[in-house]
Amino acid sequence: MSDDEITLPWIDEPMDSEEAIEALGQASIDDGDHLEELETRIERLERRASALEDGSSVECPECDDGGNVYKAGVGAAKLANDGGLTDGSADALNRESHVCLACHESFTPTFE
């Protein structure tokens, strides 16, 4: 290996310094994009996690009602109390995280 050759840890072949600098620059640009995307995903997951803990912060996508949205388990209990829990609605509640008792629509907030 001559003095001008550099080995980057993730590249097997030694390359000359100019190539190595270019490769390093490319890597940090990629990382920047990647980080930004990760941060966006983390923010989305945090919003989603807080909605899963607290159904009262979620609005129904069907009727925009925010006052009758419950987490699926709570909604199922309320429906069962009222005698309105059918096999079909139980299946739907099992798939979704939230239910709106104003329009009986179950859904999972997406936060896109």
- Residues in the site for Zn ion, rule: CB under 5 A? 60, 62-63, 65, 100, 102-103, 105
Phi, psi of 67 (to 5 degrees): -90, -15
In angstroms, the first-to-last Cα distance of the chain is: 51
- When the beta carbons of 31 and 64 are compared against Zn ion, the nearer one is 64
- Distance of closest approach, residue 62 Cβ to Zn ion, in angstroms: 4
- When the beta carbons of 65 and 96 are compared against Zn ion, the nearer one is 65
- When the beta carbons of 85 and 102 are compared against Zn ion, the nearer one is 102
Q: Which stretches does DSSP call E strand in the chain?
A: 5-6, 15-16, 69-71, 98-100, 105-107
- Distance of closest approach, residue 45 Cβ to Zn ion, in angstroms: 24
- Distance of closest approach, residue 29 Cβ to Zn ion, in angstroms: 45
Residue 76: how many other CB atoms lie within 10 Å: 20
